[in-house]
């Protein structure tokens, strides 16, 4: 478990953030540019000495201003992947990769050959960072941080400096690292698709403060957060691949309380898939509709109606043990006489699959 509480004032900017992140998996720190995400990360890494605060990782105190504890960054064992890689330009890729490894205490951890193979950087070992593409640089930086056997991996917008094509060169490797190694990650980003793809938990920030922290699934359903105002707002569901119907070109996904049919997936049966069902892709009907091209018509119970911006309403629908959000016009809500507790049918027009970044019509 990672406990973070930081207070810092710097040139008119105030950071006052507190959250607890799980000991496992990826916790995304998400918020607009300038909301203090990077300052927060620097405070956890020890590169910034905050005015006040406490950072503890698995019970080990790294910072406690009240007790006068400040562990120097070189002894925190927090690997950092910076936005602009910060590879040492005078050293080869191999020497860069080994820099932290040589200085880490002996113990179990990712091996050199294993990391090089996993990140696909074997053909780059003799090169200097100056001769690498942006995507290659970030993969080497990720490897360098991993090989220092960190207790926590801190990633500061590792894809933000890359164009779309280069991002696609790095994102799958981040997922591989998450799945292969047990090291917890704190992942700073302002891109929601990276959150969907990688994160298990979410810390939502704005203006130097933490608005909410919790599981991605739970926070995606909150209508009181700025997340709900986004065009891509919607419920995140963790699904398992139940079956493939090659003849129909469809795969069947199961989630707690229901099933979804999506275009045929490459993932094996039983694999875990993260799906975001965007609120604007969900319609509701008060009677079971017939003669529809839409594949997914789910029985649901309307839980809440929250008026949104510009004559819109956000509906929260309970589907079994899960929930969906639906964005409809305020007029429609009135016309259908929608009220909390009503049974409705949720029509899911498309889902975006966390595994790749396209959204698919179903």
Cβ proximity to another protein, 11 vs 75, nearer residue: 75
Q: How many CA atoms lie within 13 A of 330 on its CB side?
A: 7
Q: Which residues within the stretch 115-154 sit at the binding site for another protein (CB under 8 A)?
A: 128-131, 144-145, 148
Task: Using only the alpha carbons of the chain, give its radius of gyration.
Answer: 22
Cβ proximity to another protein, 83 vs 215, nearer residue: 83
Binding piece for another protein, criterion CB under 8 A, among 29-37, 96-104, 172-180, 327-335 = 96-104
345 binding another protein? (CB under 8 A): no
Cα angle for residues 158, 88, 11 (degrees, 5° grid)? 60
Cβ proximity to another protein, 41 vs 210, nearer residue: 41
Q: Is 362 in a helix, a strand, or coil?
A: coil
What are the two backbone dihedrals, phi and then psi, of residue 143, each rounded to the nearest 5 degrees? Answer: -65, -40
**Least distance in Å: CB of 105 to another protein?**
9
Cβ proximity to another protein, 155 vs 300, nearer residue: 155
- Output the six-digit token pair for 321: 């043990």
**Least distance in Å: CB of 45 to another protein?**
6
74 binding another protein? (CB under 8 A): yes
107 binding another protein? (CB under 8 A): no
CA-CA distance, 193 to 106, in Å (whole number)? Answer: 37
Which of 132, 356, 352 minimizes the C-alpha distance to 237?
352
CA quadruple 113, 115, 116, 119: dihedral, nearest 10: 150
Position among 20, 47, 56, 362 found at the interface with another protein (CB under 8 A): 47
**Least distance in Å: CB of 21 to another protein?**
18
Position among 45, 192, 211, 253 found at the interface with another protein (CB under 8 A): 45
Cα angle for residues 282, 236, 274 (degrees, 5° grid)? 115
Cβ proximity to another protein, 103 vs 230, nearer residue: 103
Q: Do 319 and 354 touch, CB atoms closer than 8 A?
A: no
DSSP letter at 268 equals P
**Least distance in Å: CB of 116 to another protein?**
17
Secondary structure (H, E, C), 29-65? EECCCCCCHHHHHHHHHCCCCCCEEEEEECCEEEEEC
103 binding another protein? (CB under 8 A): yes
73 binding another protein? (CB under 8 A): yes
- Specify the DSSP element, H or E, that contains 115: helix 112-119
Cβ proximity to another protein, 139 vs 278, nearer residue: 139
70 binding another protein? (CB under 8 A): no
Q: State how beta strands 60-64 and 13-21 pair.
A: unpaired
Cβ proximity to another protein, 2 vs 192, nearer residue: 2
Q: Which residues within the stretch 237-266 sit at the binding site for another protein (CB under 8 A)?
A: none
Position among 32, 51, 90, 361 found at the interface with another protein (CB under 8 A): 90
The site for another protein (CB under 8 A) is made up of: 45-47, 72-80, 82, 84, 86, 88-90, 99-100, 103-104, 128-131, 144-145, 148
């Amino acid at each position: 478990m990672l406990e973070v509480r930081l207070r810092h004032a710097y040139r008119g900017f105030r950071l006052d953030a507190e959250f607890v992140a799980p000991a496992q998996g990826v916790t995304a720190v998400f918020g607009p540019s300038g909301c203090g995400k990077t300052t927060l990360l620097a405070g956890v890494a020890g590169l910034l000495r905050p005015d006040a605060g406490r950072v503890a990782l698995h019970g080990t105190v790294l910072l406690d201003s009240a007790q006068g504890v400040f562990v120097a960054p070189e002894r925190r064992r927090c690997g950092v992947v910076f936005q602009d890689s910060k590879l040492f330009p005078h050293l080869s890729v191999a020497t860069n990769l080994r820099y932290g490894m040589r200085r880490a205490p002996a113990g179990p951890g990712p091996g050199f050959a294993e990391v090089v193979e996993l990140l696909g950087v074997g053909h780059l070992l003799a090169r200097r960072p100056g001769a690498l593409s942006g995507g290659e640089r970030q993969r080497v930086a990720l490897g360098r941080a991993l090989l220092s056997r960190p207790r926590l991996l801190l990633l500061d917008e590792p894809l933000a400096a890359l164009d779309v094509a280069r991002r696609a060169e790095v994102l799958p490797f981040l997922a591989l690292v998450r799945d292969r190694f047990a090291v917890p990650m704190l992942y700073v980003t302002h891109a929601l698709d990276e959150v969907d793809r990688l994160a298990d938990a979410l810390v939502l920030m704005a203006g130097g403060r933490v608005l909410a922290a919790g599981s991605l699934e739970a926070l995606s359903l909150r209508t009181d957060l700025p997340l709900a105002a986004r065009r891509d707002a919607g419920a995140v569901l963790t699904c398992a691949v139940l079956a493939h119907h090659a003849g129909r070109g469809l795969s069947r996904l199961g989630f707690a309380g229901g099933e979804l049919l999506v275009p045929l997936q490459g993932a094996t049966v039983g694999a875990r898939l993260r799906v975001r069902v965007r609120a604007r892709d969900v319609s509701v009907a008060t009677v079971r509709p017939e003669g529809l091209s839409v594949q997914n018509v789910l029985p649901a119970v309307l839980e809440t109606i929250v008026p949104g911006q510009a004559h819109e309403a956000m509906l929260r629908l309970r589907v079994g043990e899960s929930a969906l959000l639906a964005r409809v016009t305020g007029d429609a809500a009135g016309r259908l006489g929608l009220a909390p507790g009503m049974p409705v049918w949720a029509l899911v027009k498309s889902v975006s699959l966390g595994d790749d970044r396209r959204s698919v019509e179903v």
